[in-house]
């Protein structure tokens, strides 16, 4: 399993994974998430691939199948009124194609995120995980991640 920078030729497979993520979010919280169609997800994905502040990595092998995707950016907090100056690796998306889950692909992508954070001198990794996504919460906790804050709603 190799972790590589995504290229335009990986677009369809990346869209497939992001479509699965989008569907899961919409099915669990249709009051918050849009019911995106494939064209909307393709447009968003192209925008992400062209965003110089984001990096899109894929988990693949010699067969060129994209098994998983990691989208991240490095955020710097400077001169904040309350927060200390710091550098954070922010994970926008980490997803594995439904057909390949449970094979260590997500683990490999998360290990890559940890290595990148260390190389880029980030003090921590942060991400959002919705409380309905119990499998993801359990997955992230295996990496020593814990709740940093809780967003309440009514």
| Alpha carbon distance 24, 56 (integer Å) | 21
Q: What is the mean pLDDT of the chain?
A: 95
Strands 55-60 and 2-5: antiparallel
Identify the pLDDT of residue 39. 94
How far is it, in rounded angstroms, from Cα 53 to Cα 72? 9
Q: What is the pTM of this model?
A: 0.93
pLDDT confidence of residue 63: 83
Res. 27 pLDDT band, cuts 50 70 90: very high
Q: Which CATH number fits domain 2-142: 3.40.630.30, 3.40.30.10, 2.40.50.140, 3.30.300.30?
A: 3.40.630.30
Q: What is the mean pLDDT of residues 96-118?
A: 96
Q: What is the pLDDT of residues 62-106, one digit of tens each?
A: 888 999 999 999 999 999 999 999 999 999 999 999 999 999 999
Return the residue matching tokens 């994209």.
66
Q: What are the Cα distances from residue 65, in Å, to 20, 54, 83, 87, 144?
A: 16, 22, 42, 33, 29
Query: What is the arithmetic mean of pLDDT over 148-153?
Result: 93
Chain Cα centroid distance, residue 35: 19
């Amino acid at each position: 399993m190799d972790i590589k920078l995504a290229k335009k030729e990986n677009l369809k497979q990346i869209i497939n994974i992001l479509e699965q993520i989008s569907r899961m979010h919409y099915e669990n919280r249709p009051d918050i998430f849009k019911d995106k169609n494939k064209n909307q997800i393709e447009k968003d994905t192209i925008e992400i691939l062209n965003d110089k502040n984001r990096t899109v990595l894929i988990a693949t092998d010699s067969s060129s199948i994209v098994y998983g995707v990691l989208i991240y950016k490095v955020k710097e907090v400077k001169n904040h009124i309350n927060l200390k100056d710091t550098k954070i690796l922010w994970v926008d998306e980490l997803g594995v194609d439904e057909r390949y889950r449970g094979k260590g692909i997500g683990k490999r992508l998360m290990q890559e995120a940890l290595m990148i954070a260390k190389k880029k001198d980030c003090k921590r990794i942060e991400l959002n995980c919705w409380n309905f996504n119990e499998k993801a919460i359990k997955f992230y906790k295996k990496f020593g991640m814990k709740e940093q804050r809780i967003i309440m709603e009514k």
